[in-house]
Chain A
Amino acid sequence: MAKHEHAKGTNRNGAAPPRSPDGRDYPEHLRSYERLDGELVPIVRRMQPVTFDELSAAVPDTSARAALPRWLASAQWRGVVERGIPEPGPRSYSLAARAGTPRTGAR
């Protein structure tokens, strides 16, 4: 099994995959972006609250920067990152208070 693959139906910690409030499962294609946690979580921790533009400027690797929208989506599904309170202009992101606790649809 490739290093970033998990058994179907589990996340990288072996926990049940997240589910959205409207009953959708965590998109399968987002799993491969979990491998970027090690590179991107420390940058979010250092810069939070951080906008997409600020975050993308702090990611030196072309591949990780290209995948940033997908990684942010994956990290929000998994409860690693959360959005700030909506304000005019681009939204900000921070590490979730209980980072890594899979979201189950309860809000």
Chain B
Amino acid sequence: MADTGEIFLNAAGEPVLRRCAVLYLDLLGVRAMARAPEAQDHLAAIARAVTSSYRNFLHPASQWPAAMLSDALILAAPIPSEQEERAAVFGLINQAALLQLSLVEQGLFVRGGIVVGDFHIHDGLIFGQALGDAYERESNDAVHPRVILDELAAGSQAATGAEDDEDPAATLLMCDEDGWTFIDYLATLFDEYEDPRPRLTAHRDTINAKLELHRSDRRLWEKYRWVAEYHNEVIHTRIRDEAGLLVAQPAMTWRFQPFAP
């Protein structure tokens, strides 16, 4: 396969910035995983997620150049021309949804941001304003385990009304109450011919396990409570008669006890 990294070099072989859609993902809890006695198992889980049955997201010749360092995963979609910006952002949204689902299915929840701007990634060198902007969206605005799009990235996916241009990302995006557009990664399951229920059941069980594990740590627990709300929204809107697939309310509700001196 061709080395897509070559587009980040000029004719003299010097590094150059290119306009890209950039995804910055933060894998929650990875620093603690690296220090845990089961670090080897956690490493294997991360490797399974990024080299999934779907694709190798870190393939050196990937059409979406990528890098992973510590708990951050970066993916880019070069934008060859202004006319191709909408398609390039859509391509990155597709990849982000599939990557997020793959990570979550290994128990790895993520927070992230997608932006459009100047970026460079080649031979281990990662640089550019888009990297900083995507990191800021992740660290300042995402808050929950969701991947949000900045205004430019989200705006690029608005319907144009053109005959051959049917708002392609609409079924992969959701809007949160705080105004952020985020990736509806579970939507990819409903594109598949295979029954989505077994994977939705596994998703529910993973959330239940996280909610139980972190019940005494409110900061962490609230993150998984948001995922539970998202999961239930997907079930309610896409499989209306499947109450058994929902995260049960007691698992995602605050518990109080009387004062007992």
Taking the closest CB of chain A, its distance from the CB of B240, in whole angstroms, is 13
Chain A contacts for B61, CB-based, 8 A = 53, 57
Q: Are B1 and A32 in contact (CB under 8 A)?
A: no
**Which residues in chain B, 1-38, are within 8 Å of chain A measured between CB atoms?**
1-2
Q: Are B191 and A27 in contact (CB under 8 A)?
A: yes
With contacts A30-B191, A73-B193 taken as known, whether A89 is within 8 angstroms of B51 at the C-beta atoms is yes
**Which residues in chain B, 64-120, are within 8 Å of chain A measured between CB atoms?**
77, 80, 84, 87-88, 90-91, 94-95, 98
Q: Are A91 and B84 in contact (CB under 8 A)?
A: no
Taking the closest CB of chain B, its distance from the CB of A47, in whole angstroms, is 11
Q: Is A9 an interface residue (CB 8 A)?
A: no
* Chain A residue at minimum C-beta to C-beta distance from B81: A62
Chain B contacts for A68, CB-based, 8 A = 91, 94
* Chain A residue at minimum C-beta to C-beta distance from B238: A24
Q: Is A48 an interface residue (CB 8 A)?
A: no
Chain A contacts for B95, CB-based, 8 A = 69
Q: Are A2 and B91 in contact (CB under 8 A)?
A: no
Chain A contacts for B63, CB-based, 8 A = 53, 56-57, 65
Taking the closest CB of chain A, its distance from the CB of B109, in whole angstroms, is 22
Report Cα–Cα, A56/B55, bound state, in Å. Answer: 10
Q: Are B190 and A27 in contact (CB under 8 A)?
A: yes
**Which residues in chain A, 47-83, are within 8 Å of chain B measured between CB atoms?**
51-54, 56-57, 62-63, 65-70, 73, 76-77
Q: Is B259 an interface residue (CB 8 A)?
A: no
Report Cα–Cα, A67/B169, bound state, in Å. Answer: 10
Taking the closest CB of chain B, its distance from the CB of A68, in whole angstroms, is 8
Q: Are B91 and A65 in contact (CB under 8 A)?
A: yes
Q: Are B87 and A90 in contact (CB under 8 A)?
A: no
CB contact between B53 and one of A18, A62, A77, A90 (< 8 Å): that residue: A90
Q: Are A90 and B56 in contact (CB under 8 A)?
A: yes
Stretch at the interface among B136-144, B160-168, B202-210: B160-168
Chain B contacts for A76, CB-based, 8 A = 192-193
Taking the closest CB of chain A, its distance from the CB of B159, in whole angstroms, is 13
Q: Are B191 and A73 in contact (CB under 8 A)?
A: yes
Chain A contacts for B56, CB-based, 8 A = 53, 89-90
CB contact between A2 and one of B51, B52, B163, B188 (< 8 Å): that residue: B163
Q: Are A66 and B91 in contact (CB under 8 A)?
A: yes
Taking the closest CB of chain A, its distance from the CB of B126, in whole angstroms, is 21
Q: Are B53 and A70 in contact (CB under 8 A)?
A: no
Q: Are B193 and A66 in contact (CB under 8 A)?
A: no
- Given A53-B59, A103-B193, 5 additional A-B pairs, CB 8 A: A2-B163, A62-B80, A66-B87, A67-B87, A68-B94
Using a CB–CB cutoff of 8 Å, the interface residues on chain B facing chain A are 1-2, 51-56, 59, 61-63, 77, 80, 84, 87-88, 90-91, 94-95, 98, 163-164, 166, 168, 170-171, 188, 190-195, 197
Q: What 10 pairs across the A-B complex have the smallest Cβ distances?
A: A66-B91, A57-B1, A22-B195, A63-B87, A73-B191, A52-B55, A62-B84, A66-B87, A56-B63, A66-B90
19 residue pairs A–B, Cβ–Cβ below 8 Å = A2-B163, A20-B194, A27-B191, A35-B164, A52-B54, A53-B55, A53-B59, A62-B80, A65-B91, A66-B77, A66-B90, A67-B90, A67-B91, A67-B94, A67-B168, A77-B193, A90-B51, A90-B52, A103-B193
